[in-house]
Structure 1
């Protein structure tokens, strides 16, 4: 089947003020879908995650793995919008934009006239997604909030962990991740609605609300039954066999959620008699006799490896519990196109996980690398705001915009040192200096 070649959101422009995970993950998905994402970053350091701990692409002075995970395909504009000259550029960008994404605490952007109530009349078609911890209104709206705190407060932690242990947070920033995905859905819905109404709107998306909405059947278990759902570790309090099981060389996870699957599992393990055993013949009886069922199953499973059992259970919901290396080295990951190597402007080749969206006619474009800090500053404002070279140089001299010289980690300092050595007129009339860029 031939493809049109244009990603589904081609022609949509997004001005992105977000940092860390929820907002950046949202705008990365929008970028993959074809939107032009202009990432507005503080010239002095950029997105908070650029300074994150842990491995860095390109070595100690390179780019943080944390930043690289959530910022593929964007254009980085190092711009200080707290200054009037910076705000003027932001307004030029917003005049051509379809979507604005921000995750400041409510009230922060109002100080600079960049909150939705200030922008609505001026840009009536603008869709503004505001991500916050507790929403744009209410007594908690001024509180800061990070993912694990929301996991704790929403009840998520109370159902996660070993049966006799304390509630545990999910190691992945699951509330941020789900908020990002809901954000993409909300923005696409607002873009669709704009076709009929001709108007943009504000989307108020709170991490707290997302966490509560994600409780799913655990939330309804309490609301309808009145009891706290019980923690079950890797198992399930109302289903069996639904847990991790020991094999000859490690563990395999099996989620046998109904009677047919249990019948097929027993046959695959060579014990069809378990299906009619009074202790295991119904889900309720299997839950009541879970320790004995687990013992019998592991006696069989320990006779072979997790890889071989995965093949024998190919027709069942079962798979080996893998390390990160085992998971990402799996050939199927590459066959699905999920691993990509990006040519970063500053540090060279960087391996990352690509997009999981596969459209038959309008394929996503996840081929563009994450940007270096301010990589596109000398191109985006002049192209959109109509600034001349001298105007760009003057804004750079005032540190309203970032300085695009070789290394984002040292760009601003090098600009300042050049001005000190050669005087404030050094940049006047000079062409903008660009980093080497692959996209």
Structure 2
């Protein structure tokens, strides 16, 4: 007997989302919608499911073994199986689409069309359908058919070339920012298209690429090149022009310090016992401190001297709520941070094999709160309930479709 999904509450209550996605970019998009109250049905091939079900770490053993990685991006979803390579499977999808508001997929462009269930076909079944397609390089353009992964987005969107240190080769950003940036832009696009569909009765395709999404994260790199002809490169922990604004060593690790404008610099000098620096004509304005040679020779050694004898916690206490200074924390420190707990950003979800503590949602709504503590489905866990409720199929019909490989 399958588990009953957590109650769907929130601002998207009543929205039905079909999730035909794998890995992170697509599943995370539909999970955000689920957290906000949408009913999300995750559709997987019966013999070739989302392969991150086998990604570590795991909780439980034997039949209760479950991927915590999969759980983190698929909570609060129902799970069914459906084979798009089977004619009956395709017919079932069309029937589900007729009932749905949103479909999210992250196949390579053209894949859904080869299955016979591309956007134009599904739009004919439901003109108000919002169809979100997340891919490496988008649905159009000369590179549309290239395979796309997180690293592809980081590499071709420019971010990889900007990360690292100036005297070393570029370094990949240490998390899947290509996937996650596409997730966030796709979610925004879905919500905008849903609003339009509610107003006009007409859906549309939401086309989001990892490359486009990463490019949109590159801050001033584009205008720096188009205006001045400068090509952004790795800067380590430095900002392109704001100083001081970066990482500094202290007694037990590192802190971020950003006391760069005149007000913050004055507060910092007084807090750390160096008010005389405010009268120094070489560094008494923000513009002077921004000059790289002046900063390296005059400012950086002073700050390192300020911080050397203090721990991260001591420096944060000294800075208080006035000076932008905070510890550079590892994941253990973040997970155990009382402020993170107060923000409900680590949520616990119970599984038969044990508890999974995962990140919550950054979206805090004052009235219709996000719900983040539902678990992710087993493969095909909700076949009976979903197919009976939405399509009226009984147990005999499901057994027949299972035996023929359609679900």
Q: Same fold (TM over 0.5)?
A: yes
Q: What is the DSSP-based 3-state SS (H/G/I as helix, E as strand, rest coil) of the residue aligned with 1:285?
A: helix
TM-score, length of structure 1 as denominator length: 0.86
Contact 1:106 1:132 in 2 (8 A): yes
Which one of the candidate residues 200, 203, 213 is aligned to 1:200? 203
Partner of 2:380: 374
Change in 2 beyond 3 A, CA 1:36/1:351: same
- Partners of 1:289 and 1:196 lie apart in 2 by 57
Partner of 2:345: 338
Residue 280 (structure 1) shift = 2.4
Aligned residues: 395
Which one of the candidate residues 36, 41, 46 is aligned to 1:43? 46
1:163 partnered with 2:163: no
Q: What is the DSSP-based 3-state SS (H/G/I as helix, E as strand, rest coil) of the residue aligned with 1:125?
A: coil
1:356 partnered with 2:362: yes
- Partners of 1:252 and 1:161 lie apart in 2 by 18
Which one of the candidate residues 391, 406, 418 is aligned to 2:397? 391
Q: How does 1:249-268 map to 2 (within 5 A)?
A: 249-268=252-271
Q: What is the DSSP-based 3-state SS (H/G/I as helix, E as strand, rest coil) of the residue aligned with 1:340?
A: strand
User: Where do 5+ consecutive residues of structure 1 fail to align?
Assistant: 402-439
Contact 2:94 2:122 in 1 (8 A): no
Partner of 2:315: 309
Contact 2:97 2:122 in 1 (8 A): no
Q: How does 1:180-199 map to 2 (within 5 A)?
A: 180-199=183-202
- List per-residue Cα deviations over 1:201-222 (Å, max 9, x = no partner): 1111111111222223122111
Partner of 1:425: none
1:290 partnered with 2:295: yes
Partner of 2:142: 139
Contact 1:382 1:392 in 2 (8 A): no
- List per-residue Cα deviations over 1:56-93 (Å, max 9, x = no partner): 12258722232122111111112212111211221221
Q: What is the DSSP-based 3-state SS (H/G/I as helix, E as strand, rest coil) of the residue aligned with 1:216?
A: coil
Contact 2:9 2:36 in 1 (8 A): no
- List per-residue Cα deviations over 1:364-420 (Å, max 9, x = no partner): 11121122222212211121111111011112222322xxxxxxxxxxxxxxxxxxx
Contact 1:231 1:237 in 2 (8 A): no
Q: What is the DSSP-based 3-state SS (H/G/I as helix, E as strand, rest coil) of the residue aligned with 1:85?
A: helix
- Partners of 2:332 and 2:83 lie apart in 1 by 40
Change in 2 beyond 3 A, CA 1:99/1:257: farther
1:80 partnered with 2:80: no
Partner of 2:5: none
Contact 1:58 1:347 in 2 (8 A): yes
Partner of 1:325: 332
Change in 2 beyond 3 A, CA 1:56/1:144: same
Which one of the candidate residues 177, 180, 199 is aligned to 2:180? 177
- Partners of 1:376 and 1:213 lie apart in 2 by 38
Change in 2 beyond 3 A, CA 1:269/1:174: same
Residue 122 (structure 1) shift = 2.1
- Partners of 1:27 and 1:186 lie apart in 2 by 12
- Partners of 2:317 and 2:380 lie apart in 1 by 49
- Partners of 1:169 and 1:74 lie apart in 2 by 32
Which one of the candidate residues 222, 235, 239 is aligned to 1:219? 222
Partner of 2:94: 91
RMSD in angstroms over aligned alpha carbons?
A: 1.7
Residue 195 (structure 1) shift = 2.7
1:19 partnered with 2:25: no
Change in 2 beyond 3 A, CA 1:153/1:125: same
- Partners of 2:141 and 2:304 lie apart in 1 by 52
Partner of 1:437: none
- Partners of 1:376 and 1:72 lie apart in 2 by 14
Contact 1:45 1:51 in 2 (8 A): no
- Partners of 2:194 and 2:328 lie apart in 1 by 40
- Partners of 1:149 and 1:256 lie apart in 2 by 36
1:275 partnered with 2:281: no
Change in 2 beyond 3 A, CA 1:305/1:258: same
- Partners of 1:171 and 1:247 lie apart in 2 by 23
Contact 1:125 1:194 in 2 (8 A): yes
Partner of 1:58: 60
Residue 131 (structure 1) shift = 0.8
Partner of 2:4: none
Contact 1:241 1:257 in 2 (8 A): yes
